Amino acid sequence: MADTVDHLVLDLLEWLGTSPRPYSQVLDAWRTSCPRLPVWEEANDRGFLARGYSPGVGRIVSVSDDGARHLHACRTGTGAPGSPTGTTSAEQP
């Protein structure tokens, strides 16, 4: 199941893209009550999301620097989903 969550976390980071989205929109799309697919919670726990405030929009969510590095590493093959950024599957203990 962790593999599924890891891939969904990457999907969330890609969905957020390079520009922030309103917090309510992100939660509507990604928060789940299913304890087996804690995508929003997992991305937060890993430090992959940044929160802020934008006048006229309110609370916003964007990909953090760590999230952008993780996404890039996983999508370019230099990291494995769920692993620390920059660690390949072969390098994991």
Per the confidence metrics, is the pTM higher than 0.85? no
- What are the tens digits of pLDDT across the range 71-92? 999 988 776 555 544 443 333 3
Question: CA 62 to CA 80: how far, in whole Å?
Answer: 22
Q: What is the CATH number of domain 2-83?
A: 1.10.10.10
Percent over 70 (pLDDT), the chain: 76
Token pair listed for 58: 């309110």
Does residue 93 surpass a pLDDT of 60? Answer: no
Domain ranges of the chain: 2-83
- What are the tens digits of pLDDT across the range 12-28? 999 998 889 999 998 88
